[in-house]
């Protein structure tokens, strides 16, 4: 494991140390077996799925969205909103330490690409046209995400996030 990933697991992801401390990204062959062709294209080759023809753009259930490759918790349904783009959009990540950004200059434009912090999966792009007060839109590909409903959080190993969904 690269030193930087090991340090990230040790320092930046203490809540996930049990799940990701020994994380080793699968080989390309293993990923091709684990993922659908679309999931592989999106997460490993920086692809984009069709708008309005993806699994989560219109999902209104409560729960978490995690990286389809590593299981890193990325977004909460509490921060999801209807952006009109046809992709799942969020105002913010569950925690900024779970995502990284980099400049993307493909297709003759400059955008901010969003990737998962540990698995380095391509997730989508960040735009500054979201709702206030943050004004951010994390426009994600459903193919890079796995949705865990609230009822399954404990069983799936994400029980620590149940408190987010407790009604006050």
Q: Contact, 140 vs 89, CB < 8 A?
A: yes
Counts of helices then strands in the chain (DSSP H, E) = 4, 9
- How far is it, in rounded angstroms, from Cα 10 to Cα 98? 13
- How far is it, in rounded angstroms, from Cα 168 to Cα 164? 10
Catalytic site includes residue 139: yes
Q: Contact, 72 vs 66, CB < 8 A?
A: yes
Catalytic residue, from 74, 94, 99, 139: name it.
139
Q: Contact, 148 vs 66, CB < 8 A?
A: yes
- Residues annotated as part of the active site: 139
């Amino acid at each position: 494991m690269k030193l930087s990933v090991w340090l990230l697991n040790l320092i930046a992801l203490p809540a996930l140390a049990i799940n990701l401390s020994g994380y080793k990204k699968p080989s390309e062959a293993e990923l091709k077996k684990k993922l659908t062709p679309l999931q592989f294209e999106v997460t490993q080759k920086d692809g984009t799925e069709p708008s309005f023809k993806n699994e989560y753009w219109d999902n209104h259930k409560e729960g978490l969205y995690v990286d389809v490759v590593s299981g890193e918790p990325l977004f909460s349904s509490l921060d999801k909103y209807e952006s009109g783009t046809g992709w799942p959009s969020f105002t913010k990540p569950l925690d900024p330490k779970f995502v990284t950004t980099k400049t993307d200059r493909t297709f003759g434009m400059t955008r901010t690409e969003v990737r998962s912090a540990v698995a380095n999966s391509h997730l989508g792009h960040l735009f500054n046209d979201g709702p206030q007060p943050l004004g951010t839109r994390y426009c994600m590909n459903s193919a890079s995400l796995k949705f865990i409903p609230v009822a399954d959080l404990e069983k799936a190993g994400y029980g620590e996030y149940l408190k987010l969904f407790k009604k006050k």
